[in-house]
Amino acid sequence: MRKITANLYMTLDGRGEFPTYPGSNIPSGTPDEPDEFFRKMWTDRFSDVTTVVMGRRSFTGHRRVHSLKGRKPTDPKFMFDYSRFLDKAEKVCLSHRLKKLDWENSRVLKGDLAKIMTKLKREKGGNIIIEGGPRLIHEVLRLNLADDYWFLVMPVVFGRGPRYWTPMKTQTNLKLLSASHMPYGELVLHYEAVREKTVSKSK
């Protein structure tokens, strides 16, 4: 069965932004080799992934910045490798609005997210990554649709921008698999989904 992994990129106050902070502008790795941070969050995890699912806004943002067409000549080689991976992967854009997508190997799906993820899981292929944005990830967590979650938490209380966390009616439990921190204070947290129901303690 294909594994579904969700990626979350957020500030300490749960905002889906990429602010600058001390160290954030320092190029990651050498021109040829990504640093540990980039490897942990991206390159180490892509060899078995064939499908990337994104909300409409994230899809258009990724196409603009991370497709091979969007790369700048000065970008490091490993960013080109990342773009090659993304261009080749099957991309699912969730949208009611978009009908045509100007990015190879892409298709639009819409509707009930749980049904969409079940359908994708049954299709042939490697593993699946859900790559944001915050609104989509919130729904994935609310419905407990992913098998595991990678959080990248940046050391900033930003105070504005899209929120990952808005009210939910029920709690979602996750089991911590690994936690590490990067040289400039970013946390990389890997959790797996806990699917059994919480048993409330009797008084």
The DSSP secondary-structure symbol of 27 reads P
Task: State the nearest-atom distance from the C-beta of 8 to ligand NAP, in Å.
Answer: 7
Residue 31 or 159: which CB sits closer to ligand NAP? 159
Does 135 contact ligand NAP by CB under 6 A? Answer: yes
Q: Which two tokens stand for residue 118?
A: 């079940």
C-alpha–C-alpha distance, residues 172 and 157, integer Å: 23
Minimum distance between the CB of residue 79 and ligand NAP, rounded to whole angstroms?
A: 16
**Does the footprint of ligand NAP cover residue 136 (CB under 6 A)?**
yes
Two structure tokens written together for 65: 């910045």
Residue from 41, 85, 134, 190 in contact with ligand NAP (CB under 6 A): 134
Q: Which is nearer to ligand NAP, 137 or 182 (CB)?
A: 137
Residues contacting residue 83 through CB under 8 Å, at least 6 positions apart: 66, 67, 68, 70, 71
Residue 84 binds to ligand NAP (criterion: CB under 6 A): no
Q: Does 90 bind ligand NAP (CB under 6 A)?
A: no
Q: Kindly tell me which residue out of 6, 92, 94, 140 binds ligand NAP, with binding defined by CB under 6 A.
A: 94
For ligand NAP, the binding residue among 19, 61, 126, 155 (CB under 6 A) is: 61
Other CB atoms within a 10 A radius of the CB of residue 69 amount to: 12
Q: Distance between CA atoms of 123 and 1, rounded to whole angstroms?
A: 9
Q: Is 100 in the site for ligand NAP (CB under 6 A)?
A: no
116/94 Cα distance (integer angstroms):
9
- Cα 13 to Cα 154: distance, rounded to the nearest angstrom: 9
Q: Which is nearer to ligand NAP, 68 or 153 (CB)?
A: 153
CA 59 – CA 95 distance, rounded (Å): 10
Adjacent-strand bridge partners of 6: 130, 149
Give how far Cα 46 sits from Cα of 65, 81, 111, 126, 171, Å.
18, 11, 27, 10, 30
Residues 26-55 that bind ligand NAP (CB under 6 A): 54-55
Q: Which residue number, 7 or 201, has a Cβ lying nearer to ligand NAP?
A: 7
Instruction: Kindly state whether residue 96 participates in binding ligand NAP, applying the rule CB under 6 A.
Output: yes
Q: Which residues bind ligand NAP (CB under 6 A)?
A: 9, 16, 54-58, 61, 94-98, 110-111, 113, 131-136, 162
